[in-house]
Structure 1
Amino acid sequence: MVDIKRYTQELSQLVALPSVSCATPSLDTSNRAVVELLANWLADLGFACELQPLPDQPHKANLIATRGHGPGGLVLAGHTDTVPYDAHSWQQDPFDLTLRDDRLYGLGATDMKGFFPVVLAALRGLDLNKLQAPITVIATADEETSMAGARALALRGGFQARAAIIGEPTALKPIRMHKGIMMEAVHVRGHSGHSSDPALGNNALEAMHQVMGELIRFRRELQAQFSHPGFTVQVPTLNLGCIHGGDNPNRICGDCELQFDLRALPGMNNDELHAQLGARLRPVAEALNVDITLRALFDDVPAFEQPAGSALVRACESFSGQQAVSAAFATEAPFLQSLGMETVVLGPGSIDQAHQPNEFIPMAQLAPATHLLRQLIAHYCH
C-alpha cells in the first residue's frame, strides 16, 4: 500500500521547486532546493546524506543518501531537473500539482520527480533496521542537458552496490538497453563574393551539399553493418536536423553549418564514430578547398545494454511480471553501469507524457511501483 495523501504532499513540494535544466542560461535554474528537501526526508529515515556540488556549477548538486554499510546492496537513482515549459500551453500552473481524473499534473510529475516519493513510500514500508546490505538513493542534476550529474558520479566512483534501478518513466516495464546519442555540428567555411561571378568566391552551401551526401552514405553503411533485433528501430540512425548558411541570395555563401544527431546501438563506440566522421569529411574539404570543422554540441551519451540473463534483469522481470525491453530515449544508465553495477531503467509513469504541457503521472501506478521497489529492496538488502 502507499499513503496517497503523503505521496501527493511530497510530490507537490518537489514540483513547486523549479529545477529547469536548459542550455539557454536565462532559463536554467538550480536544483539545490530539490536535493536539500530530499536529503531532509531521507535523513529522517536514518540515511547519511551527502550533497556533492557539480564541478564548475556550485549552484547544482547531486545527492547521495545511504543507509547500511558494506559491499553489495541496491541503488535507487533519478534526476531532479526538468525541461523548460510553455506556461501558456498548460491548463494549470506547471508548479502547482493538480489532481484531475486520477492523474497528478505538474512539471516533472512523471519525468521524474514522481519517482522519489515512491522511493520514500517503499522505504517506510520496510524495517530498515534489518538491512543486511546498504541501500543508496541518488538524486542527480542536469540529466536533461549535459548529464553532468551522472558524469560526476562516474568520475567519483566508490560505489559497491550490486545493482542500480533508474526510475525513469517506463510504465513499470523493465528497460535493459537503449541507444546512445551524439549531437554534432559540421561547419563549412568557404569564401563570400558577388554572385554574378562564381570565381569570386567559394560557395560553402555547395560544399555542404557534398558533406550531406557523405553523411547519408555513412548512414547507409552503418545501417548495413549494424543491427539489433531488440530495438523497434533496429539500426543506428543519423538525422540531418537543421542547417544555416549565407545571408543574401546575391552573395556567394561564405559559411554554412549543419547540425545532426547519430544514435548508436550497443556495441558501437562513439569515439570511433567521431574518428570515422572526421576521416570521411577531410577529403571533401581538400577536394573543394574549404575548411570543414566538426564539433560536439554536447558530450556524447554511450549506448547501454544490460545482458538479458543478468541477475537484476531476471529479478525485475519476475517482480514486475513483464519482459525487459529496449527504450528509444537515452538515460543515465551507462554511467551507473560503468561503476560496476548491473543497471535497469524502471519506474512509474510514461515517457509519452514527458517534455510536454500537462505532464502527469497516473495514480494507478503508484501502489504497484511502491510494491515493486519494496520487493527489489528486500531482495538485494534484506
Structure 2
Amino acid sequence: MPVLPSLISMMSQLIAAPSISCSQASWDQSNKGVIQLLESWLSSQGFRCEVMPLPDQPNKFNLIATLGSGDGGLVLSGHTDTVPYDEGRWQSDPFALEERDQKLYGLGSCDMKGFFAIVLDTVRQMQLNELKQPLIILATADEESSMAGARALVEQGKLKARYALIGEPTSLTPIHAHKGIMMERIQITGQAGHSSNPALGNNALDAMHSVMSELMTFRQQLKNQYRDANFIIDYPTMNFGCIHGGDNPNRICGHCELEFDVRALPGMSNKELMSEITQRLPSIEAKTGTKIQLNSLFPDVPSFYTPIESDIIKACENLTERSATTVAFATEGPFLNQMGMETLILGPGSIDQAHQPNEFMALDQIQPMQQVIRGLIERFCLQLNHQKNEK
C-alpha cells in the first residue's frame, strides 16, 4: 500500500490549497484542490472515492470515501472550505503551515483542514482489512457560507451510515446540540420628499420603527415561551445586526433596510418562526402606506439535537472523559441527522481560534483526537455487537 505523507505534511498541503467560500464573489473559490488531495490519499489507503460536483456549482465538490460495506458504520465528517482572511493581520502566510510555540498556524488549521490530516494519520496506523461495518470519510463544500454541500447530500440521499462525528473545533468536548440560525432582511419602500413638509413623502424609517417594535415584542414572547437549560443562553435570540436608510437629514427617508438573525432552540421550527414574522408585517404595511418585503439572506440552518443517551455520545464521553454539552454556533450536524445518522460534534482545536487572524491548532490536541477516532472506529466499525439499534 502506498505510503501517506506525514501528518504535518498532509496538513501543510491541505492548507496550501486555497478553498475560501464566501457570499462575496470576489472572495469565493473552488475547493477542488483540497478534494483532489483527499481523494488521492484516501484512494491509496483502499477507500472507494466518489467526487460529486454540487448542483449549479460545478467548481465545488463533495467527497464520500468508503472503506468496507454494510448498513451501519461510522462517518467522520469535515468541511473543506475556510472563511476569508484578514490581510496584514497574520504574523505568517495564512497558506503556509508554520509551527510556533507548540502550535500549528495556518488558515483552516483547526477549522477544519487539520482534522482530515489527523483522521488519515490515524487510519493508516490501524488494521482495517476486516471491517464489520463501513468507515466513511466525508468532505463537504461551502459549510462556511451556504452549507450547499451538506444540503446537496440530503437531496441526493447517497450517504448511509448509523453514526457520524463532525470534527469541528470543540476543544475535544462532545457536543450533542446547537441552536438553529436564520438570517433575514426586511426592506421598506416609502416615498422620498422635502423634510419641511411630511405630506410630500412617506417615511420608511418611521415604518421601520413600527417593524422593529413589533419584532422586539415577538422576541420577548419567544424568550418567555421557550427555555432550554442545556444552553448558556437558554432562550431563542433575535439580533438586529445592521440597518441602512435614507441619505440626508433634510430628506424624507424613502427606503430602509434591516438585517437580523434568529437563533432557535432545538425543537423549534425555523419555518414556523418565519411564518410568524411574515404574518406581523401586512398590518404595518397597511397602516404606514409603505411596501414591506421580507427575504432570507441565506437558507436557514435547523437546530441540531442528538439525544444524550445515543451510543456515539456515550462513547465519546467515555473516550474524552468529558460530559456532552451544547454550543451556539451552527454546523452541518442537522443535515447529517436528517440522513438518519446519530451525530455529534467533536474535534481538535478551539472555536475561539477559528475565523481569526493567526488561526492555530495546539499540538497537544492531536494525540487525544487520534485516541477518540481510534476508539470510535474500533467500536462502530470493527465490532458487530454495537450495531444493534436497527432503524
Shorter-chain-normalised TM-score: which range? over 0.9
Q: Tell me the CA shift for residue 159 of structure 1.
A: 2.8
SS of 1:99's equivalent in the other structure is: strand
Residue aligning to 2:346: 346
Secondary structure of the 1:13 match is helix
**For 2:335 and 2:177, how far apart are their aligned partners in 1?**
13
Matches within 5 A, 1:51-200: 51-200=51-200
Cα distance in 1 for partners of 2:120, 2:178 equals: 27
Amino acid at match of 2:233: V
1:214 and 2:214 matched: yes
Q: Which residue of 2 aligns with 1:24?
A: 24
Cα distance in 2 for partners of 1:310, 1:46 equals 30
What is the CA-CA distance between 1:289 and the residue it aligns to?
Answer: 1.1
For the Cα contact (< 8 Å) 1:172–1:346, is it kept in 2?
yes
- % identical aligned pairs: 56
Work out the CA distance in 2 between the residues paired with 1:8 and 1:376: 23
Shift of 1:108: 0.5
Shift in Å, 1:327: 0.8
User: Following superposition of structure 1 onto structure 2, how do residues 335-374 of structure 1 map, counting pairs within 5 Å?
Assistant: 335-374=335-374
Counterparts of 1:160 and 1:53 in 2: how far apart (Å)? 19
Q: Match of 1:257?
A: 257
Task: Work out the number of aligned pairs and report it.
Answer: 379
SS at match of 1:294: strand
Check the 8 A contact 2:187/2:294 in 1, yes or no: yes
Report the counterpart of residue 326 of structure 2 in structure 1.
Answer: 326
CA contact (8 A) 2:135 2:381 kept: yes
Residue aligning to 1:273: 273
Q: Which residue of 2 aligns with 1:45?
A: 45
Q: Which letter maps to 1:76?
A: L
CA offset at residue 160 of structure 1? 2.7
1:303 aligns with 2:303: yes
Partner of 2:6: helix, strand, or coil? helix
1:289 aligns with 2:294: no
- Quote how far apart the aligned CAs of 1:319 are: 1.2
The residue type paired with residue 255 of structure 2 is D
Q: Distance in 2 between matches of 1:87 and 1:293?
A: 36
Q: Which amino acid aligns with 1:130?
A: E
| Contact 1:76–1:136 (CA under 8 A) maintained in structure 2 | yes
Could you list the per-position Cα deviations for residues 136-191 of structure 1 after superposition, in whole angstroms to 9, with x for gaps in the alignment?
A: 00000000000000000111113331100000001111000000000000011111
Structure-2 separation of matches of 1:231 and 1:328: 8
TM norm structure 2: 0.96
- Cα deviation, residue 337, structure 1: 0.4
Q: Give the Cα–Cα distance (whole angstroms) in 2 for the partners of residues 328 and 206 of structure 1.
A: 33
Match of 2:286, SS state, is: helix
C-alpha distance after superposition, 1:186-230 (max 9, x if no partner): 011111111110001110001101111111101000000001000
Deviation at 1:310, TM superposition (A): 1.3
Q: Which amino acid aligns with 1:274?
A: M
1:228-271 Cα distance to aligned partner (Å, 9 max, x none): 00000000000001000011111111110000000000010000
SS at match of 1:337: helix
Whether the aligned pair in 2 keeps the contact of 1:184 and 1:296 (CA below 8 Å) is yes
Distance, in Å, in 2 between the alignment partners of 1:130 and 1:33 is 31
- Confirm or deny that 1:243 pairs with 2:238: no
Q: Distance in 2 between matches of 1:370 and 1:318?
A: 14
SS at match of 1:282: helix
Q: 1:141, 1:148 within 8 Å by CA — same for their partners in 2?
A: yes
Q: 2:217 and 2:161 mapped to 1: Cα distance?
A: 44
Structure 2: state its 5+ residue gaps.
Answer: 383-391
Distance of 1:86 and 1:194 partners within structure 2: 42
Amino acid at match of 1:380: F
Contact 2:319 / 2:371 at 8 angstroms: preserved in 1?
no
In the TM superposition, residue 380 of structure 1 has moved relative to its aligned partner by 0.3
What's the CA shift for 1:308?
A: 1.0
Q: Deviations over 1:286-309 (max 9, x none)?
A: 111111110000000000111111
Where does residue 15 of structure 2 map in the other structure?
Answer: 15
Residue identity in the other structure for 2:345: V
In the alignment, the residues of structure 2 paired with residue 338 and residue 92 of structure 1 have an alpha-carbon distance, to the nearest angstrom, of 40
The one-letter code sitting in structure 2 at the alignment partner of 1:299 is P
Kept after mapping to 1: 8 A contact 2:153/2:159: no
Q: Distance in 1 between matches of 2:364 and 2:179?
A: 29
Moved segments of 4+, more than 3 Å: none
Question: Contact 1:87–1:94 at 8 Å: present in 2 too?
Answer: no
CA distance in 2, matches of 1:22, 1:160: 29
Range with bigger deviation, 310-319 or 254-263: 310-319
Give the distance between the partners of 2:226 and 2:178, measured in 1 at CA.
Answer: 15
The 1-side partners of 2:159 and 2:60 are apart by 21
Cα distance in 1 between the residues matched to 2:343 and 2:15? 27
Kindly indicate whether the alpha-carbon contact (under 8 Å) linking 1:188 and 1:293 is maintained by their aligned counterparts in 2. Answer: yes
The CA RMSD over aligned residues, in Å, is 1.0
**Does the residue aligned with 1:76 lie in a helix, a strand or coil?**
strand
